[in-house]
Each structure stands twice: as structure tokens, then as C-alpha cells.
Structure 1
Amino acid sequence: MITNKTFTLKKILLLTAFGILAVSCTKHVSSLSSDSDNTWKRMEMVLKSIPQTRFSDKVYNINDFGAVADGKTLNTTAFEKAIKKCAANGGGQVLVPDGKYLTGAIHLESNVNLHLADKAEILFSLNPKDFPIVHTSWEGTEVMNYSPLIYAKNKTNVAVTGKGILNGQADSTNWWIWAGSKNYGWKKGFPSQNDPTNREVLVDMAEKGVPVSERVFGEGRYLRPNFIEFFECNTVLVKDVTVINSPFWILHPIKTNNIIIESVTVNSHGPNNDGCDPEYSQNVVIKNCTFNTGDDCIAIKAGRDGDGRRVAIPSKNIIVQNCKMIDGHGGVVIGSEISAGVNNVFVENCVMDSPNLDRAIRIKTNSKRGGVIENIFVRNLEVGTVKECVLKLNMFYNVYGSQTGNFIPTIRNVSLENVNVKNGGKYSVWADGYAASPVENITLKNVKIQKVDSLYLLKNVKNIKFIDTYVNSKKVESVK
């Protein structure tokens, strides 16, 4: 039998110059998780198939379009003029020179590279009116809402690069208050996203099939904007920039294919400040990045509940290499907005270490989300300290009240290899599945956990293998 995994990989190989190797993809999925060499060869094939961005040598300095680097003058129009001129002339680089530039939303065009000089800093306005209503997404549900701070929709060959700073200026006196948490400045009587007419109304609209064009939020609804969002784009690069103080999710490729996120530093500790959230996206590379966040460092998504099933685009071929994870709810996380499914995730050569990092690898879903999560491969991980556990696989994730439904999820084929952990927190592995849908085919090979409170917490788990794995200096036996 040829599984969906096998078929997807076979298509990739046939569509690239590496089609001669397609025969290797006819193996059953259970053998994929045990065949380490071929697994990582497939990752290399995906890497080689991803097109690179290329831009004209023409440079369009925003100062030539009226920008003022005083940190006070609103430069939205100057950015817009420079980007449109660049695009109209065939593309090139829109240069943000040294200095501080205040602006509202920046909307990118095809063939444009927004490039920040080393000492450039873009300060984003704190006035919601400077972010027009656009087609975007909020926690896995599509919506007409405030524009992301940097936004591109239906664009090809587009980039944000340079060693400057992107500063959302969010803190507990502005955007973060909307989260409705006392930890971020909210007080009783303040409006927030949690009010009855806000977040849950959006989710209800999606469940009832209300068209996205009619899900109009924005003013008075308190759903914070994403920072950088590429919506239905292709061939994208984000490189070298430092991103700080985000209102909400930080790097959000949605329905976007062939994106490279390289040498980016994220330092933002606000509510829902995920570092990078690929959603409904394919062929995504996140490499040489540093994440220090208030939520998940990397969270791979695929839509929430009915909206995710409506879109039905799985996230796949997600590659994470040579990254550093500091604070966060998880290092590399899959979910919880995951209804369309996730497969073919490769994580290698990463460092995760902080007393404020809850887990290293985490999968979270529930029976409202559903989704098939399979073929998750991790190797060469150095973990210093995590609070809760090294690997957590949870089919009963519940954070916003009742999260149960009729869509029982699937989690299978997860492999950790060559992982060294100093302090694993409470458990080495925490896996919680359904009797009718157990967490299945989990492999830990050459994993060394020096210190952890308990070996594992397992419920409805089928076929978990410990190969040359030692926890608290004792070799661990497999569990059928």
C-alpha cells in the first residue's frame, strides 16, 4: 500500500532533478521512520528543490521618497511610494538607510527586497488606524482584520533582509493589553480579545461557513495583528533582521511555498509571541535563527477546526536547522491549530536551553482540531534545561474552555536521534492518545537525558522504541 506520505514525497522527487531516486519512496511509512539515512536524504532533496530569490541591482532609497529618520515622522507614504516605484521598474532593493523610521503597515510587492542597513530601525506605529483591514488570519482562522505590520499577498520573489531592527513597539501599555491578561497590563473593565463579541465570534463564524469576506473585524474587536505575514506567496526570503516587541505572532507564512528564513533573531516576550508559524505552507526552511519568545519558538500550524478543514492544505516539508531556542513554551512545536495536518518535518543541529523553555519538541491537538500529524524527524539536538519534558505528544490540548469534538487526531512516526539533555524537567516523554487512535511509532535513538524527575508518562501509546537511550544513567527498554 502506498501511503499519503509516500505519494507526496514521490511527487516531490518527480518534480525535481532528483526523480531518479523516486523508487526509494515506495516504502511503507513505518519503515520511513526507521530508515534514518534515507530520511535525511529526502530532506536534502527538498532543500535542493527550493528556488532562490533573485533581485535587480537597482536601489530605491526611501529617503528619496520623503522618508525622515527622526523616529517621529510617519513614513508610511514614503515606504509605499518606494515599493511601488521599485516594483513598476522591474524590482530591486528598497533601502532603509541608518536611522529610525516610524511607519504604519508596509505592503510588499513582487520582485522587491526590503533591505535594512545595519543601523536602520523601523518603528511601527501604535495607532491601529495605521494598519488597514486586509485578508489575514488570526489563530488559524481566516479573517478581515488589521494588516500585519509587514504584509505581502499573492506575491512572488519577495524578501525582507539586512541587519537592522524591526520594532513593533508592543508592550503592556498598548497592543499586549488586548490579550486580556493581567500579566500584560490588562485590568478589569478594559476591552480585550476575550470579550464575547470578539475571538469566539470569529471562530463561530468559521464553523458556520460564513465567507471570509464577511468576517470583518478590526476596530473594536481587539484582535492583534501579526508582525510579518506572507499570504499565498511563493519564493520568499527573510534574512539577517532582528525582530522585537511584536503585537502577536511574529513570522507567519500562510499558504506560502518555498520560503527561507535565515539568520533571523527574534526577541519578543509578549502574549502569543510565537517566533515563527508556518501555516498551510510547504517547503519552508528555518535556519541559523535565534528565538527568545513569550510563546512557542517555532509553531507549525495548519488551520483551526472547521476553517482548517475547509482550506485543507497540510503544512509539509518544514526544515529547521542550526537554530537556538531560549525562552518559550516549546522549542519546535506542531499545533494546536492543526486541522489540515502536518507531515515531513525535519529538525537538526539545534540548541535549546532555558529555565523558561517548557518543552523541546511538542505536538498539541485535540478532537476539535483533529488532523494527521506524521513523519516528524529530529536529530543532533543539544538541550540544556527544559521545565516540563523533552518530548510531549498531546491529543487533549485544552486552553480555551471546551476543546472536544468528533475529529479524533492522529499522531504517528516521530523520531528523536542523537539528543543530549542535561535537565529534562518532569518527564523524558509525555504522550497521551486515544484508545481508538493511539500515539503510534515513536522512536528515541541514542538519546541521553542526564536528569529528569520521571522516565515517562504514557497513555494509549503503541510501539514506542528506546534504542541506546539512557535516562538518569539507566538504559530504557522499549514499550509495545
Structure 2
Amino acid sequence: MARNYFLMRNMLYCILFATLFSCAMKQPKTVVNNDPWETMQRILDSVKEPSFSNKTYVITEYGAQAGGVFNNTQAFKKAIQACTENGGGKVLVPSGKYLTGPIHLENNVNLHLEDGAEILFSTNTADYPIVHTSFEGTELMNYSPLIYAYKKTNVAVTGKGILNGQANNENWWWWCGKDIYGWKKGTPNQGDPLNRLRLVAMAEEGVPVSERVFGEGHYLRPNFIEFFDCKNMMLKDVKIVNAPFWVIHPIKSSNVIVDGVTVESHGPNNDGCDPEYSRNVIIRNCTFNTGDDCIAIKSGRDADGRRVGIPSENIIVQNCKMVDGHGGVVMGSEISAGVRNVFVENCAMDSPNLDRAIRIKSNSKRGGLVENIYVRNLDIGQVKESVLIIDMFYNVYGGQVGTFIPQVRNIYLENIKVKDGGMYGILAKGYKEFPIKNVRFRNVTIDKVDNAYSIENLVGLKLIDTYVNGSLMESPSN
């Protein structure tokens, strides 16, 4: 008996040590102090632009031909490979139009587009190999993103040129299954049982990602630019148009800068920037004119998000302009691993087609914890539905009910001016078991709004120096 006791005790000690060691190896959680904007500045100071050797590799010297007809996939590949093998530098795309398949970036490579350069991406699915990627918050093996970096360090895409996905109602877009994007009744689409639905079922069943093989015949569109499990990445100054699906997608990545980028893409699910499972992401000086959310912060869908278990955190949005889109800055709906420490400041939003300024969306299949969201200095012209919406019953695909109740707390908006507020200043609906907690408006002015707020299961709404349609608002009693 004594021997069994000591064996069991030692086994428990080993398990405890392994657990503590595993926790210690995880990235430390950033603690937001009494001044969240000081915390934001510390994050900004910690993220540096990647630097590159002073060497240039011009794609035309590796066989590339301008004109938009010749397929330059191999020329891009050769130039990038030569660059990385020689210690890195700049892969230069001169002025002109260059057709290519997907571009796979390597360590220490800056893909730089001169002013007047335009990369046209093929719409032939045969040009796109199957790689480890993600579709709507679920990992899988699918068509390569148009620009793809997988487990790379110190990589950038820069310059004043254009990245043109060439997506339209004749190729990628109709796969969504909506007639407004060219889909015709009776033709296949992503909603067929063996496509998106099967992928979600595989994740729920715990099928390994390597066995979730889709691609040809499954109609799951590729992301445009995807940094997958990367460090020290930058996207700067380029213009991106006509994406098949999500436009900028850092996933499982850290120290990411998106600076001075213009996104113009009005296809289905054309979110502008979707950080997912990512940390220390800076999005600044950008313009988003999109067919879906301008910025949507994510952390995995349902079982797959809980499997990965990496929250998106330390996301900073500064000096951006949001034009069309379902939401300006959004958290969700693929948010199962949670989101924390989001800072938004000095942004302008104005369009009759912009539905919401700040949005948090989840449901009881997604779950997830969203906390510490700080927003200040927004100039909002017009929004269609609400300035702030917190929807814990989001139900885009139907049947989105489960046992994972989402939680939201600590949402702060200050110094906001809204000229045309739409239907609601605040629209919030939480769960009775886990009500939304601590929402504060300070120095907020909303004009031409139908209702100041509509709230359900929200505890701790504070309205300080907040005016709606010219009247000073009082905080509601809980």
C-alpha cells in the first residue's frame, strides 16, 4: 500500500510539474493597467518593422514578362528563392502588369511593387496547390491563398503598386451560392453538404487538419493574403482589389504591421483585415471599402477554435478610414478562443452602406470571451443600424445554438461624434446566465438616431457626458 501511495504521489507531482511548465511556456498575457492607452503605447513600441538586406532581385531578370498574359509563377518563385537563399532583400516588381499564380513568400523577403506595377492573379483553380490554410475560422487543406507565407519570419509586401485578385461574378465570387454574385440555381456552391458543412463537421468530429482535404470541386474560396504562423510581417502601401474571399488574414502570427494599405473589394465575405489567433497586430493609416466587415478580429470557429485555443490579443487600429462594409471594427463571429486588448483610435467612418461602427458578435456554439475593448476619437458620419452592437445570438447560418455561452466585458468608447446614428446608439443582447458587463460611453454625441439604446442582459452601462439627439443621457439602472 505504501509503495502504491508513493507511486501515485510521484505521478501527481509529475503531472502538476508538466502542467505548470506548459503554462509557463505560453505567451504571457498583456495586463492592461489603469491607463489602457499607455498599455497600447507599450505594444506599439514593441512591434518593429522588419528590415532587409540592401539587395534587389528584379523579377524580369528571372524570366517575368509584363503584359498581363504570360504566366509568371515560376519567375516569381525563382526570384524569391534566390533572394532568401542569399540572405534576403527586395524582390522588385517593375511597372507593368504581371499575371501569376499564387506567390509563396520566404524568410527575409520584401516583395516590392513599384508605382505602376500590378500583379494579376490567375483565376484558374489548377494554378493553386493545396496547402494548410483556413476557411471561416476552420483549418483545412485547401487552395493556396494568392499571397501566402507559412511559418516564415521577417517578410513584407510593400510599394505603391496594385494586387489584383481578378475575382468577379464569373469566377470566384459565385461559389458563395448567392445570385447577386453570379451564382445560378442548380449549380454547385460552398453550401453543398460535402463542402462548408462537411468541413465544420470534420472539426466537430476531431478529424486531423491534414485529413480535411478540400480544393477542387468543393468551392471554398481562398484568402487573398495570408500570413500563417509567422513572425515580423508587414504589408505596406499597396492597393488590393477584387479578392476571392477574406483579404488580409494573419493567422497564428505575431508582430504584424498593416500600414497605409487600401482595400477595394466588394465581393462576398470580402472582409478587409481578419487577424485570427494573432498577437501584437497594428493596422494603421488604411482605407477599407469592402463587401463585408472592414476589420474583423477572429479566433476560430466552434470546436476548431477551442482546439487551437489561442486568443487574438493586442490588436491596434489607428488612423483608418472605413467606407462601405457590414462593420467598421468587429470582433467575431468566429471567436471561440476569445479576443482581448483591442485599441481603436482616430478613425473615420461614413457611408450609408456601413451598418455598424463597433460590433461584437458570437453565439452559444461559438462561445468565447471578449474583454478590454478601448475605442476613442472616432468621427462617424453615417451608420445604418447602430454605433455599438453586441450580439450574443448571431445566427447567420441558422441553428447556431449550443452550450458555450459567450461572455463580453469592459467595452469603453470615448470622444465619439456621430452625425447620423441610424436605428440605435447601443444595441446589446446578452445571456441571463452571463450578462454583458461594463460598457461605458464617455463624451459621446450621437445625432439623428431613432433610439438611444436597446439592451438586454447588460450590467453596468455607464453614460458619461453623452448626448443623444441633443439631450444629456443618464445611465440606466440595472
Task: State the TM-score bracket (shorter-chain normalisation).
Answer: over 0.9
Query: Is residue 187 of structure 2 the alignment partner of residue 187 of structure 1?
Result: no
Partners of 2:419 and 2:399 in 1: how far apart? 36
Q: Name the counterpart of 2:325.
A: 328
Q: Name the counterpart of 1:102.
A: 99
Query: Is residue 68 of structure 2 the alignment partner of residue 52 of structure 1?
Result: no
Query: Is residue 365 of structure 2 the alignment partner of residue 405 of structure 1?
Result: no
Question: SS in structure 2 opposite 1:308?
Answer: helix
Query: Is residue 343 of structure 2 the alignment partner of residue 349 of structure 1?
Result: no
Q: 2:295 aligns with which of 293, 298, 303?
A: 298
Q: Name the counterpart of 1:4.
A: none
Q: Name the counterpart of 1:61.
A: 58
Q: 2:169 aligns with which of 154, 169, 172?
A: 172
- Residue 71 of structure 1 contacts residue 102 of structure 1 at CA under 8 Å; is this kept in 2? yes
- Residue 169 of structure 1 contacts residue 246 of structure 1 at CA under 8 Å; is this kept in 2? yes
Question: SS in structure 2 opposite 1:73?
Answer: coil
Q: How many positions carry a matched residue from both structures?
A: 453
Query: Is residue 435 of structure 2 the alignment partner of residue 438 of structure 1?
Result: yes
Partners of 1:131 and 1:270 in 2: how far apart? 20
1:284 Cα offset (Å): 0.1
- Residue 53 of structure 1 contacts residue 237 of structure 1 at CA under 8 Å; is this kept in 2? yes
Partners of 2:94 and 2:248 in 1: how far apart? 23
Q: Name the counterpart of 1:249.
A: 246
- Residue 166 of structure 1 contacts residue 243 of structure 1 at CA under 8 Å; is this kept in 2? yes
Partners of 2:77 and 2:36 in 1: how far apart? 44
Question: SS in structure 1 opposite 2:206?
Answer: coil
1:305-340 deviation line (CA, Å, top 9, x unaligned): 000000000000000000000000000000000000
Query: Is residue 462 of structure 2 the alignment partner of residue 458 of structure 1?
Result: no
Q: Name the counterpart of 1:370.
A: 367
**TM-score, reference length from structure 1:** 0.93
Query: Is residue 126 of structure 2 the alignment partner of residue 134 of structure 1?
Result: no
Query: Is residue 269 of structure 2 the alignment partner of residue 272 of structure 1?
Result: yes
Partners of 1:12 and 1:88 in 2: how far apart? 36
Partners of 1:328 and 1:316 in 2: how far apart? 23
Question: SS in structure 1 opposite 2:80?
Answer: helix
1:438 Cα offset (Å): 0.6
1:191 Cα offset (Å): 1.0
Question: SS in structure 2 opposite 1:330?
Answer: strand
Q: Name the counterpart of 2:216.
A: 219
1:209-229 deviation line (CA, Å, top 9, x unaligned): 000000000000000000000
1:289 Cα offset (Å): 0.1
Instruction: Rate the CA distance shift 1:135–1:11 in 2: closer, same or farther, 3 A.
Output: closer
Q: Name the counterpart of 1:358.
A: 355
Question: SS in structure 1 opposite 2:447?
Answer: strand
Partners of 1:121 and 1:420 in 2: how far apart? 38
Partners of 1:444 and 1:107 in 2: how far apart? 44
Partners of 1:121 and 1:369 in 2: how far apart? 39
Query: Is residue 471 of structure 2 the alignment partner of residue 478 of structure 1?
Result: no
**TM-score, reference length from structure 2:** 0.94
Question: SS in structure 2 opposite 1:313?
Answer: coil
Which one has the largest radius of gyration? 2
Q: Name the counterpart of 2:150.
A: 153
Question: SS in structure 1 opposite 2:154?
Answer: strand
Amino acid at match of 2:60: N
Partners of 1:131 and 1:473 in 2: how far apart? 56
1:92-147 deviation line (CA, Å, top 9, x unaligned): 00000000000000000000000000000000001011110000000000000000
Partners of 1:11 and 1:437 in 2: how far apart? 26
Partners of 1:449 and 1:87 in 2: how far apart? 52
Q: Name the counterpart of 1:120.
A: 117
Q: Name the counterpart of 1:238.
A: 235
Question: SS in structure 2 opposite 1:42?
Answer: helix
Q: Name the counterpart of 2:3.
A: none
Q: Name the counterpart of 1:19.
A: none
Query: Is residue 107 of structure 2 the alignment partner of residue 91 of structure 1?
Result: no
1:50 Cα offset (Å): 1.3
Question: SS in structure 1 opposite 2:354?
Answer: coil
Question: SS in structure 2 opposite 1:72?
Answer: coil
Query: Is residue 384 of structure 2 the alignment partner of residue 387 of structure 1?
Result: yes
Partners of 1:209 and 1:233 in 2: how far apart? 25
Question: SS in structure 1 opposite 2:78?
Answer: helix
Partners of 2:99 and 2:186 in 1: how far apart? 31
Partners of 1:475 and 1:215 in 2: how far apart? 55
Partners of 2:432 and 2:103 in 1: how far apart? 49
1:51 Cα offset (Å): 3.0
Partners of 2:28 and 2:149 in 1: how far apart? 28
1:287 Cα offset (Å): 0.1
1:11 Cα offset (Å): 4.3
- Residue 262 of structure 1 contacts residue 286 of structure 1 at CA under 8 Å; is this kept in 2? yes
Question: SS in structure 2 opposite 1:48?
Answer: helix
Q: Name the counterpart of 1:39.
A: 36
Question: SS in structure 2 opposite 1:426?
Answer: strand
Amino acid at match of 1:202: L
Q: Name the counterpart of 1:422.
A: 419
Question: SS in structure 2 opposite 1:158?
Answer: strand
Q: Name the counterpart of 2:7.
A: none
Amino acid at match of 1:387: K
Dislocated runs of 4+, deviation >3 Å: 10-13
1:184-206 deviation line (CA, Å, top 9, x unaligned): 00110111001111000000000
Partners of 1:249 and 1:207 in 2: how far apart? 23
- Residue 12 of structure 1 contacts residue 46 of structure 1 at CA under 8 Å; is this kept in 2? no
Decide which moves more: 410-419 or 48-57. 48-57
Amino acid at match of 1:382: D
Partners of 1:240 and 1:461 in 2: how far apart? 41
Partners of 1:129 and 1:229 in 2: how far apart? 19
Partners of 2:313 and 2:29 in 1: how far apart? 11
% identity of equivalent residues: 66
Q: Name the counterpart of 1:198.
A: 195
Name the Cα RMSD after superposition: 1.3
Partners of 2:46 and 2:241 in 1: how far apart? 32
Amino acid at match of 1:76: T
Partners of 1:162 and 1:96 in 2: how far apart? 9
1:12 Cα offset (Å): 6.5
- Residue 347 of structure 1 contacts residue 377 of structure 1 at CA under 8 Å; is this kept in 2? yes
